[in-house]
Structure 1
Amino acid sequence: MATMKDIARLAQVSTSTVSHVLNKTRFVSEDIEKRVKQAAKDLNYSPSALARSLKMKCTKTLGMLVTTSTNPFFGEVLKGVERRCYEKGYNLILCNTEGDSERMKASIDTLLQKRVDGLMLMCSTLEGQEIEIFERYPNVPVVVMDWGPMTYASDKIQDNSYKGGYLATQYLIKHGHTTLGCVTGPLHRHQAISRFNGFKQALQDSNLILNPDWIVESNFECDGGYEAYHQLKATKSLPSALFVCNDMMAMGLINAAIEDGVSIPKELSVIGYDDIHLTKYMAPSLTTIHQPKHQLGNVAVDTLLSRLAQPQAPQRIIQLEPSLVERNSVYKIV
């Protein structure tokens, strides 16, 4: 790989002159500038990003950790992150944790050793894990996305899951449903318990009884929704409507119900959560709670860059608001 010394030798100028021409830090004559640029072109010179980052103490690179999942939600958020990084002139290094705490810690260590300017974490399956590695890199800013309470200082981006759960349940009640069930995510996770709490509060506000037989804790995946339907069916009676706490489980549950000969939504209404792209094209299309996924990605990058610019500013919690998307999976009872 060609260096500035090689260019200087070919152009017959000093190395400092080459530096001034390439970095535009001092005026040089038109003839010398032309010779230097031609020499750089002839040698196929490319400036060293590593050398520049060491000099500037900035790599213009961000790291992101996600939990590998079949859920398109993560891919849609990642698309927003990648686009925002590109718009801001930053590179992105992505690592998967596979839901493994040791792999997460090893990935964080690798990213920090590569001198990323900051980190974004979206590994909610590992919620509550102690990540002592951050103690070794106290000056690297961290933004946590879609996660529960933190044991270390970081900015946090989250959706208002409680409000989303309340909106979903309230919508079912306004459509005349009085027998309601809920398929939750893993209740040790912040999102799952918040959505379930919103469900319970909406029932309470409408003086409706919560039937424990119609509450199933599941795993936020399609197979969990599929199994949840069979658990509910085993109780011998189904509610008229279900709040399923993410779209992946809702898809699995609807599949199981249709296989069982149950009409969606006439015999069983279903509302999901996330508004992943696929749900628009289901049959019936899924009524759901929209999470602003691209905005989540954008805000995470902007928050991290803001932290880089103002490292001493107080940590922030930024809450994004959910909204209802009305489609065809909820039946209105006259």
Structure 2
Amino acid sequence: MAVTIKDIAQIAGVSHSTVSRSLNGSNLVAECTKSRIIEIAHDLGFEFNANARSLSTRRTGTIGIIYPESFEDFDVNLYYSSLHNLIRKSLEREELDLIVAFPKNKFHRYSSNIKRLVKSNKVDGLIVVNPSLDEEDINALNLMKELGIPFVFLHHFPTGSLQNENVVCTDHFRGGYLATEHLLKKGHRNIACISTAEKWEEFVNRTSGYKKALADYQVPFKDEFLLYGDRSFKSSYQAIMNCKDRLHRITALFAETDLMALGAMEGLKKLGIRIPQDIAVVGYDDIELATYFTPFLTTVHQPRERIAILTCEMLINLIKNNNCQKEQLIIEPTVVVRESCGGNI
């Protein structure tokens, strides 16, 4: 009779997942425990193959997460790194391992890592945090659907043929609206916005929310008040310098990332413009750096912890019951009031 992970777990006095992790070489298991489990498995003649999955549960105990290629860029990593830590904690509570990957393998003709993870049977499910998927990635996700391997989109709403798939993300339109409305309620009518030249959906939605708030408060939108950066500190600093001849007509600024807000604030200070007395500033994301600069930055808080927990719960539920109905959870952000817009309303 074939030896199973259940047999090894019973002899070692540990859980099935601990055996699976040990045989996979996970760093989450103490070396002494791992060595003992491997020795028991060897003595019993058990040959573990990750490609065959666990013989007792048909699962690997591992979740994959796909980040965008821009993950390592400083301006992007500030948000994603804190989100990743929360995802990791949520999965570790369920004794699940995490494989981090990016869309393409740069050393093998830019082949799809999603496709590789699926075909090698390395994951029980996938979290996709990538705003742009090519045809090969989409085909790989469709293959996952055929094989009954669930996936959930996180932070970015899926488009095209995948637009009805499972997703958990922030309502970025609402976030842009709330940031602008906060300034409008403070009495501002000449409100500039720094967005990105890249037409990523989250920034398009934030800009749309900005415009809608202006319209609802019967404030005309002005093209000259819409500035562009590239998400970085330096780009928004330069955007301020490039429009310094218009700044006397602006009383408030909404920057669509915190890093761009901080860069803009630095530019305003360089020009002798006081914050918030001359120009109030609101950012977006609520990264830790928002309280490292003075005045402390008022910002739109993305509920990262709630998003991470909901995403992991959704995926785990899909793994346990693959017949679950599709869910699309759009989470409303909130405004965190600090010093850069003049304090509380």
TM score, norm. by length of structure 1: 0.80
SS in 1 for 2:305: helix
Quote the offset at 1:187 in angstroms.
5.8
Query: Compared with structure 1, are the counterparts of its residues 179 and 98 closer, same or farther at alpha carbon in structure 2 (3 Å cutoff)?
Result: farther
SS in 1 for 2:92: helix
SS in 2 for 1:312: coil
SS in 1 for 2:100: strand
Structure of higher CA gyration radius:
1
1:75-108 Cα distance to aligned partner (Å, 9 max, x none): 11101110011001110001234899x9986221
Q: Alignment partner for residue 149 of structure 2, among 134, 140, 143?
A: 140
Conserved 8 A contact 1:182-1:216: yes
**In 2, Cα distance between equivalents of 1:63 and 1:333:** 42
Query: Compared with structure 1, are the counterparts of its residues 224 and 255 closer, same or farther at alpha carbon in structure 2 (3 Å cutoff)?
Result: same
Sequence identity percentage:
23
2:52 pairs with 1:45: no
Q: Alignment partner for residue 164 of structure 1, among 151, 175, 192?
A: 175
**In 2, Cα distance between equivalents of 1:53 and 1:284:** 54
Quote the offset at 1:236 in angstroms.
6.1
Query: Compared with structure 1, are the counterparts of its residues 318 and 21 closer, same or farther at alpha carbon in structure 2 (3 Å cutoff)?
Result: closer
1:36-68 Cα distance to aligned partner (Å, 9 max, x none): xxxx95984357473662553210100001121
Quote the offset at 1:310 in angstroms.
2.2
Name the amino acid aligned to 1:322. Answer: P
1:83 aligned residue: 89
SS in 2 for 1:272: strand
2:129 aligned residue: 122
Quote the offset at 1:289 in angstroms.
0.7
Q: Alignment partner for residue 240 of structure 1, among 251, 254, 259?
A: 251
2:52 pairs with 1:73: no
Conserved 8 A contact 2:6-2:56: no
Conserved 8 A contact 1:175-1:333: no
2:231 pairs with 1:220: yes
Name the amino acid aligned to 2:293. Answer: M
1:278-304 Cα distance to aligned partner (Å, 9 max, x none): 102211110001101122111111111
Conserved 8 A contact 1:216-1:231: no
Structure 1 residues not aligned, in runs of 5+: 1-14, 26-39
Bigger mean CA offset, 202-211 vs 181-190: 181-190
Structure 2 residues not aligned, in runs of 5+: 12-34
**In 2, Cα distance between equivalents of 1:56 and 1:19:** 9
**In 1, Cα distance between equivalents of 2:198 and 2:7:** 61
Quote the offset at 1:228 in angstroms.
2.2
Quote the offset at 1:140 in angstroms.
2.0
TM score, norm. by length of structure 2: 0.78
* Count of aligned pairs between the two proteins: 304
Quote the offset at 1:251 in angstroms.
1.5
Query: Compared with structure 1, are the counterparts of its residues 103 and 263 closer, same or farther at alpha carbon in structure 2 (3 Å cutoff)?
Result: farther
Q: Alignment partner for residue 109 of structure 1, among 96, 104, 115?
A: 115
2:262 aligned residue: 251
Conserved 8 A contact 1:176-1:333: no
Conserved 8 A contact 1:63-1:118: yes
**In 1, Cα distance between equivalents of 2:62 and 2:296:** 39
SS in 2 for 1:177: coil
1:292-324 Cα distance to aligned partner (Å, 9 max, x none): 112211111111111112222221101111011
Quote the offset at 1:232 in angstroms.
2.8
Query: Compared with structure 1, are the counterparts of its residues 128 and 237 closer, same or farther at alpha carbon in structure 2 (3 Å cutoff)?
Result: farther
Aligned pairs for 1:20-39 (under 5 A) are: 22-24=8-10
2:320 aligned residue: 309
SS in 2 for 1:131: helix
**In 2, Cα distance between equivalents of 1:221 and 1:99:** 26
Conserved 8 A contact 2:118-2:140: no
Conserved 8 A contact 1:180-1:241: yes
1:189-241 Cα distance to aligned partner (Å, 9 max, x none): 22112111111111111111211111013322223322322233254644110
1:60 aligned residue: 61
